[in-house]
Amino acid sequence: MTAIFPTYKRFNLSVERATGTAVEDADGHTYLDFGAGIGVCSLGHRHPDVQHALEKQLNSYWHVSNLYHNPIQEKVADWLTQHSSGEQVFFCNSGTEANEAAIKLARKATGKHKIISFEQSFHGRTLGAMAATGQEKIQTGFGPMLESFSYVPFNDIDSVKQVIDDETAAVMVEMIQGEGGIHMAAPGFLQELEHVCRQYDVLLIVDEVQTGIGRTGKPFAYQHFGISPDIITSAKGLADGVPVGAMIAKERLRDAFGPGSHGATFGGNPLAMAAAEAVLKRVFQEDFLREVTEKGNYLLEQLNQFIAPLPAVTSIRGKGLMLGIECHQDVTPMIKRLIEKGLLVLSAGSNVIRILPPLIVSEQEMDQAVDLLSEVLADEKVYVE
Ligand SMILES: *Cc1c(COP(=O)(O)O)cnc(C)c1O
């Protein structure tokens, strides 16, 4: 028995070291990592820029608290605000904390309490973010949920119009539902959603914890849709594996988060900020983002050509380097078989294989992954498990 709570059903792999897109286990087997620590290692494992920034910060200072000025936080906040619709940043340590901050800010700034989110969404596991998560399986056993949260079908603007009212503080939405199964926002839906929010003076919160930081070929995925959210939350890919979270908001919301209103002891920790700065310096460059778009298009083409026709597969979805292969059945046996063959991928929902390679992935590595995927998904024996 292990002394760790069994909250995760773990695959049979113990990692010894990792570099770039490669993970190595204790026996010296290597794996091509197309999960990137659940979209976290955006520049791959131990990217030299990030490692260098961390080493430099290790020799400078590790933590002094938010009672004093922190120049690296300012730099990271500048990167985030210069590449988004927001002007103010709050730093924390995870995606769920960024969403908690967003929910609290929305309530305090508007003086209203209701939050609308979407079915199959995922916003985190803490009480507020869990209440915003439109999935029963995440909430089961932890009730009663916080009041004033409601869920409507994704991409259904009429349902939003039916529940939005004078007490609604915010609508919270993912651009591509990640954990829920790689479901994309429909063309036009987000613009309509923004319009309805403006009509009712409701804040638009976009949860970019998974889609942000270059994952879809833009700094933030909402930038594909021509909308201007009031609040953006970020975490996973922001510091290449060092825990970090950020909530970015419009300037007019600044006063609602005055001194003493909210906080996080570790938020904006210098090591996390050093890593984040190194990531953003690289990822928020036009050339880099163009390459992500090109790689994403290439991988999608390959999947459409070689994987989509397989009888096990129902559809291929996604954008940039956030892609999903929906299958007829639970994908766990396929994922296990892929690990045995040396490819790490994720699931989303129960029937979707989710692919989130490091953004530095090469064409050759994508070909290799597609070969392994087609081998495993074409093998009928994998379904009987
Ligand atoms: C992962 C995720 C979260 C939660 O992030 P944690 O860092 O695990 O708390 C929230 N929203 C989305 C969209 C996510 O993908």
CA of 33 from ligand 1 middle (Å) equals 20
pLDDT value of residue 366: 98
pLDDT value of residue 307: 98
Q: What is the distance, to the nearest Å, from the Cα of residue 174 to the centroid of all Cα atoms in its chain? A: 9
Residue-number span of the structural domain to which 318 is assigned: 15-33+286-384
Report the distance separating Cα 302 and Cα 371, nearest Å. Answer: 10
Query: Is residue 116 over pLDDT 90?
Result: yes
Q: Which segments within the chain are labelled E, that is strand?
A: 15-19, 22-25, 30-33, 88-92, 114-118, 149-152, 168-173, 176-177, 183-184, 203-207, 231-234, 245-249, 313-319, 322-327, 343-344, 346-348, 352-355
Residues 264 and 182 in one domain: yes
Does residue 39 form part of some domain?
no
pLDDT value of residue 158: 98
Task: Check: CB of residue 31 under 8 Å from CB of residue 343.
Answer: yes
Does residue 40 form part of some domain?
no
Task: Check: CB of residue 121 under 8 Å from CB of residue 272.
Answer: no
CA of 164 from ligand 1 middle (Å) equals 25
Please spell the DSSP secondary structure of 269-316, one letter per residue.
-HHHHHHHHHHHHHHTSHHHHHHHHHHHHHHHHHHHHHTTTSTTEEEE
Report the distance separating Cα 54 and Cα 60, nearest Å. Answer: 10
CATH code, domain carrying 314: 3.90.1150.10
Count other C-beta atoms under 10 Å from residue 265's C-beta.
Answer: 10
Residues 248 and 294 in one domain: no
Residues 246 and 302 in one domain: no
pLDDT value of residue 69: 95
Atom of ligand 1 nearest to the CA of 207: 13
CA of 141 from ligand 1 middle (Å) equals 20
Atom of ligand 1 nearest to the CA of 121: 13
Atom of ligand 1 nearest to the CA of 129: 10
pLDDT value of residue 377: 96
Query: Is residue 104 over pLDDT 60?
Result: yes
In this prediction, residue 114 has a pLDDT band, given cuts at 50, 70 and 90, of very high
Looking at residues 147-162, what average pLDDT do you find?
A: 98
In this prediction, residue 384 has a pLDDT band, given cuts at 50, 70 and 90, of low
Task: Check: CB of residue 35 under 8 Å from CB of residue 344.
Answer: yes
pLDDT value of residue 383: 66
In this prediction, residue 385 has a pLDDT band, given cuts at 50, 70 and 90, of low
CA of 369 from ligand 1 middle (Å) equals 25
Residues 142 and 261 in one domain: yes
Task: Check: CB of residue 30 under 8 Å from CB of residue 22.
Answer: yes
- Residue bearing the CA closest to ligand 1, atom 15: 210
- Residue bearing the CA closest to ligand 1, atom 6: 95
Residue ranges of the annotated binding site are: 95-96, 122, 125, 207-210, 265
For ligand 1, pick from 96, 172, 213 the residue to mutate: most ligand atoms within 8 Å of CB: 96
Q: Is 216 exposed, middle or buried (0-12, 13-18, 19+ CB in 10 A)?
A: buried
pLDDT value of residue 55: 98
Q: Which segments within 153-228 are labelled E, that is strand?
A: 168-173, 176-177, 183-184, 203-207
Looking at residues 211-238, what average pLDDT do you find?
A: 98
For ligand 1, pick from 206, 236, 242 the residue to mutate: most ligand atoms within 8 Å of CB: 236
Report the distance separating Cα 293 and Cα 299, nearest Å. Answer: 10
Number of domains in the chain: 2
Query: Is residue 4 over pLDDT 80?
Result: yes
> Which of residues 262, 283, 304 is at a domain's end?
283
Does residue 308 form part of some domain?
yes
CA of 56 from ligand 1 middle (Å) equals 29
How far apart are the two ends of the chain, measured CA to CA in Å? 25
Does residue 43 form part of some domain?
no
Looking at residues 36-54, what average pLDDT do you find?
A: 98
Residues 98 and 212 in one domain: yes
> Which of residues 258, 283, 308 is at a domain's end?
283
In this predicted model, what pLDDT tens digit does every residue of 293-323 receive, in sequence order? 999 999 999 999 999 999 999 999 999 999 9
Angle (nearest 5°) at CA 312 between 310 and 313: 70
CA of 179 from ligand 1 middle (Å) equals 8
Atom of ligand 1 nearest to the CA of 126: 9
Query: Is residue 70 over pLDDT 80?
Result: yes
Residues 193 and 307 in one domain: no
Q: Is 28 exposed, middle or buried (0-12, 13-18, 19+ CB in 10 A)?
A: exposed
Residues 24 and 94 in one domain: no
Does residue 19 form part of some domain?
yes
> Which of residues 283, 311, 338 is at a domain's end?
283
Residues 276 and 301 in one domain: no
Query: Is residue 258 over pLDDT 80?
Result: yes
Does residue 84 form part of some domain?
yes
Query: Is residue 20 over pLDDT 90?
Result: yes
Residue ranges of the annotated binding site for pyridoxal 5'-phosphate are: 95-96, 122, 207-210, 265
CATH code, domain carrying 274: 3.40.640.10
User: What does the buried/exposed string (b/e) look like for 271-309 if buried means 16 or more CB atoms within 10 Å of the residue's CB?
Assistant: bbbbbbbbbbebbbeeebbebbbebbeebbebbeebbee
Atom of ligand 1 nearest to the CA of 177: 13
Residues contacting ligand 1 via CB (< 6 Å): 94-96, 99, 122-124, 174, 178-179, 207, 209-210, 235-236
Residues forming beta bridges with residue 344, ordered by sequence position: 33
Residues 260 and 140 in one domain: yes
Residues 271 and 292 in one domain: no
In this predicted model, what pLDDT tens digit does every residue of 322-347 receive, in sequence order? 999 999 999 999 999 999 999 999 99
Does residue 233 form part of some domain?
yes
Does residue 7 form part of some domain?
no
Write phi, then psi, for 152 (nearest 5 degrees).
-130, 160
In this predicted model, what pLDDT tens digit does every residue of 270-279 receive, in sequence order? 999 999 999 9
Residues 173 and 291 in one domain: no
Residues 160 and 101 in one domain: yes
